Amino acid sequence: MSEDDGKITTLPVRFKSPLSSDRTLLLPFEVPQPGKCDHLFTQYIIDPAAAEVECGKCHEKLNPMWVLERLASEDRRIEDSRKRYREESQRLSDRLKTKCQHCGKMTRISRT
C-alpha cells in the first residue's frame, strides 16, 4: 500500500524537541539476539575460590558484578511486590462493610 492511494492521511504531529541522534531507547543487552543465551532467569554456577560466575544454561563466563546487580534488582522487585501484597491484604482485612451484590445495600462483613 502506498501513500498514492489517498487512504493514508499523515497527521501533523511534531516532537516538542527532536531526539538526539545518540539516544538509545533500549540498552544493547535488552534486545534479544536469536540463538544467544540472555543469561536471565537461569541458575548461575559460582566458583568462590576463583571469583568466577558461569551461566547455568550456556556455560559462558559472566561478569560477577553484572550477576550481582541482576540478583539485587530481582530481589528488590520481589520485595516490593510482597510489600504491596501485604498492604492490600491489610486494607482488605480492615474493611467492615461491603456492598451487597443482591440488594445493593452496605452490609457488615462477618469474620467467622
Give domain limits for the chain. Answer: 37-93
pLDDT of 27 reads 62
**Which letter, b or e, does each residue of 35-57 get, where b requires 16 or more Cβ atoms within 10 Å of its Cβ?**
eeeebeeeeeeeeeeeeebbbee
pLDDT (tens digit, 0 to 9) for every residue of the chain, 112 residues total? 454 667 877 777 776 666 666 666 666 666 666 777 878 777 899 998 998 999 888 888 999 999 999 889 889 989 999 999 999 988 888 788 888 888 988 888 776 6
pLDDT of residue 79: 93
Give Dmax over CA atoms of the chain in angstroms: 71
Give residue 100's pLDDT. 85
Q: 462483613: which residue's cell?
A: 109
- Residue 14, amino acid: R
Dihedral pair phi/psi, residue 79, rounded to 5°: -65, -40
